[in-house]
Amino acid sequence: MKKLDISKLDVLALMSYDACTRCGECTSTCPTGGEAQDVELVTPRGKILRLREFYKRQYGLKARLFGPKEIPEEQLKELSSRAYECTICGQCKTVCPAHLDTIEMWENMREFLVANGLAPLPAHEQIVKSIENYDNPWMQPRTQRSRWSKRIEREVKVKDALKDKCEVLFFVGCTAAYDPNIKDMAIDTARVLAKAKVDFGTLGNEEGCCGSTMMRTGLFESTRGMVQKNIERFEKASASVIVTSCSGCYKTIRQDYPKVGKVNARVLHITQHVNELIDEGKLVLDKKVEGKVTYHDPCHLGRHNGLYDEPRKILKAIEGLDIVEMERNRDEARCCGAGGGVKTAFPDLTQKISIIRVEDAEKTGADILATSCPFCYQSLKAAVETKGSKLRMMDLMELVRMACSDGH
Amino acid sequence: MSQGRYLKDKAWLYLPFFGAIILVSAIILLLPYGTVYVQDRMYLFFFLATIVLCVALFFIGTLYNVLIWMQGKGLSGTPERRLMRVMMKSLRFVLSKRFAKVTAVFVKDALYLSKLKDRSTLRWLMHLLILGGFILTFALDLIVTFAMDLVNYEPMIVESGWAKIWIRDFGFEVGGLMMLLGLIIAAVRRFVLPPKIVRTELPDAVSILFLLGVVLGGFILEGIGIAGSIPGHTVNQEYSFVGYAFSLVTPSSWDQYYDQAWLIHGVMSALFIAYIPFSKLFHMIATPIAIEAERMLPSGVMPSEEARHL
């Protein structure tokens, strides 16, 4: 009989499974279980109750008295698959009246599933192989990582942080570095930093995947080596500030890296850094940018890190922009559907969710949908195109770059 | 881990634990119960046997639930040893200066249910009524037991005493009514007008109906007592305003069933206590603990350094 190993579940998570009141507040706002599919097992309540039922069958008082009961393999596999249909957006954490830290719970649940041989899903295994072999999830060679910067090498000096000492290390992230449709995000970030005369550099081809994808799919233990390597690179670069334009990298370096080793630098998301530059007068947004814009809060930036004001302050600082909020914004913002490995394993589900979010944006009457995360950008842009929406998908740094006069 | 070590860990936990159960049972059994109005003492003994068994079941069920938590990641040693260390750490925390600050947050989050209030006023009110009524009734029960059976405080015993009127009659009535109103809202919300998020399975239905049965049983008992002028219910009946209302529709001849009604209410209350750790109602214990633990250990994953100190 297969006995589940619950030693991989956090003590706090085990408490939280019992603390769930079954109220269902999380079910209606869950983007995957509630809104897109209406499948109870995908909702937070469904997952909690099922997993709790399983381990209580093997560890509860009844199991102690009469022996543990076997859980059919297909039921375990069903739970595992359904658990991966969650984007770990954290909406359930926002609404939970019992104050459960569901973000930690889902990541930990996946670690548990991996430890029990029930995960990752085959689709995620491909990504894991790519990260292990190429240091990025996109099956791209290491030598191509810094290629994005070639396009601006004449106008912007991007230092090699491992060779030339610099104040700010720009951690580009795999998506912006490799995805041809997202490269502009890295380019615009570099341009903005250059316009503010920030002494910055990157790790070039030496930059490794931050590990976010693997951590979100329950492979935290497998990322220790790559995290350690990145921390060593940070040490070697010795920059006092690490800036990321990817909210996934930001969450990972800020929240997860300290579990492996100390990061001796301030870790900032580009929206925080740009705000500081504006406040210090180093970045002047003196060009008018016309448009009606609505901002989508990336989950990793908002609910996971509480950064809601920074992007909005930037938008307000750009003259000419008319900012309108979607009905669900800030900690109530709908997810784009791409996170938590959902886009890789369940692309149709991602599309469903991102279309709902694009509809939210359309209702505002905005003509620009802005965000500050490459994953959100990718999935929302795809939804805009699929839907034939008139919205223009933009990264926040693109707007900032447009607001900087060339001479500044 | 050697077998000897394991047994030692178990002994350290189980000896004081079962000692505590025996102590509580002894207190329950040794109280004089001079003002219990049942005529047939066998009913009282049967109730006492049930309550002792149910309290033991409550503690054992809670212990084994907590021992499951203790098998999680972030702690070292056997679950029993971990629990002992966590309890010692919790005790130190309770005695620390931080405790007052955390308690304020605890009251706001776990008792006042601030987050629920922001999301749904009706559910907040429902929950607050049930929880508040439960806490009030439980607290009054302790006070009354102490005053009547341990110190024989006269105003609590005599029918016209101020404590009898305001605590035993009015106080319990308020607590019971709060629970009743909260449970009626819960029952209507679950069975009559269920919103989409409500999903009713057997444990959900049982929890509400069971508690509703206990609370209603209490008022019916009171009504029978008042209608039949059973000792303790002869004067100032209007202070037991809900029971009094029930008495108006209760034939006075039903006083012959008072002992049986008393036993049913008592046994149901006892069974309810025993049911808590084995049902969704365990969240009454787990949620406050999880909220407190979250505050004590701010990071989701307990760092290994922390684990070593525990």
Residues A386-402 have pLDDT tens digits of: 999 999 999 999 999 99
Residue A255 tokens, joined? 């929240």
- Contact between chains at B301 and A14 (C-beta distance less than 8 A): no
Residue A369 has pLDDT above 50, yes or no: yes
For residue A238, give the DSSP letter: T
Of the options 3.40.50.10700, 3.30.1360.10, 3.40.50.2300, 3.40.710.10, the CATH number for the domain spanning A284-403: 3.40.50.10700
Q: Stretch B191-199: mean pLDDT, rounded?
A: 92
Gap between the Cα atoms of A299 and B16, Å rounded: 47
Q: Does A295 touch chain B (CB under 8 A)?
A: no
pLDDT at residue B299 greater than cutoff 50: no
pLDDT digits (tens, 9 = 90+) for B112-170: 888 899 889 999 999 999 999 999 999 999 999 899 888 989 999 999 999 999 999 99
Under CATH, domain B3-298 is a member of which superfamily?
Answer: Transmembrane di-heme cytochromes, Chain C (1.20.950.20)
CA distance A100 to A17: 9
Q: Whose CA is closest to B222, among B206, B201, B198, B239? A: B239
Look at A136 and A1; give whichever has higher pLDDT.
Answer: A136
- Rounded mean pLDDT, A327-351: 96
pLDDT for the residue B186: 96
CB contact under 8 A, A97 and B283: no
Task: Find chain A residues with C-beta within 8 A of B73's C-beta.
Answer: 7-11, 108
A99–B contact, CB cutoff 8 A = yes
Averaged pLDDT for residues B68-92: 88
Contact A99 B61 (CB under 8 A): no
- Residue B30: the pLDDT is 86
Cβ distance of A11 and B113 shorter than 8 Å: no
Would you tell me which CATH number, out of the four given (1.10.8, 1.10.1060, 1.10.3470, 2.40.50), belongs to the domain A6-119? 1.10.1060
The predicted-structure confidence for B223-243, as pLDDT tens digits, reads as follows 999 999 998 888 888 999 999
Cβ contacts (< 8 Å) between A11 and chain B: which residues? 69-70, 72-75, 293, 302
Domain segments of chain A: what residues? 6-119, 123-278, 284-403
3-state secondary structure of B296: helix
Chain B residues bordering chain A (beta-carbon distance below 8 Å) = 60-61, 64-65, 68-75, 109, 113, 115-116, 119-120, 123, 196-199, 204, 278, 280, 282-283, 286-287, 289-291, 293-294, 297, 299-303
pLDDT interval class at B29 (50, 70, 90): confident
Report which listed range, A132-136, A185-189, B70-74, is most confident.
Answer: A185-189
Per DSSP, the three-state class of A274 is: helix
- Residue B4 binned pLDDT confidence (cut-offs 50, 70, 90): low
Which residues neighbour B137 within 8 Å (Cβ) at sequence distance 6 or greater? B172, B175, B176, B179
* Percentage of chain A exceeding pLDDT 70: 99
For domain A123-278, which CATH number applies: 3.30.200, 2.60.40, 3.40.50, 1.20.1510?
3.40.50
- Which residues, including other chains, have CB under 8 Å from residue A311's CB and lie 6 or more apart? A271, A295, A297, A301, A370, A372, A396
Give the residue-averaged pLDDT of A81-96.
Answer: 96
Mean pLDDT of all residues belonging to chain B: 88
Amino acid B28: pLDDT: 86
CA separation for the pair A104, B42 (Å, rounded): 53
Residue of B301 and B162 predicted with greater confidence: B162
Q: What percent of chain B has pLDDT over 90?
A: 59
- CA A67 remoteness from chain centre: 42
First to last CA, chain B: 18
Q: What is the mean pLDDT of residues A38-67?
A: 93
In the numeric block, which tokens belong to residue A48?
Answer: 């909690």
Q: Which two tokens stand for residue A187?
A: 């380019």
3-state secondary structure of B99: helix
User: Looking at residue A331, what is its pLDDT?
Assistant: 96
> How is residue A155 written in tokens?
């106008």
Tokens for A235, please give them. 């040490």
Asked if the Cβ–Cβ distance from A19 to B286 is below 8 Å, we say yes
Going by pLDDT thresholds of 50, 70 and 90, the confidence category of residue B2 is low
C-alpha distances in Å from residue B171, one per residue of A3, A69, B136, B174: 50, 47, 8, 5
Delimit the domains of chain B by residue range: 3-298
What is the model's pLDDT at position B308? Answer: 36
Lowest mean pLDDT across A82-91, A322-331, A360-369, B99-108: B99-108
* Mean per-residue pLDDT, A363-367: 98
Put simply, the chain A residues between 174 and 213 with a CB less than 8 A from any chain B CB are none
Question: Looking at residues A118-122, what average pLDDT do you find?
Answer: 93
Contact, A292 vs A322, CB < 8 A? yes
Instruction: Write the CA distances from A407 to A278, A290, B95, integer angstroms.
Output: 16, 20, 63
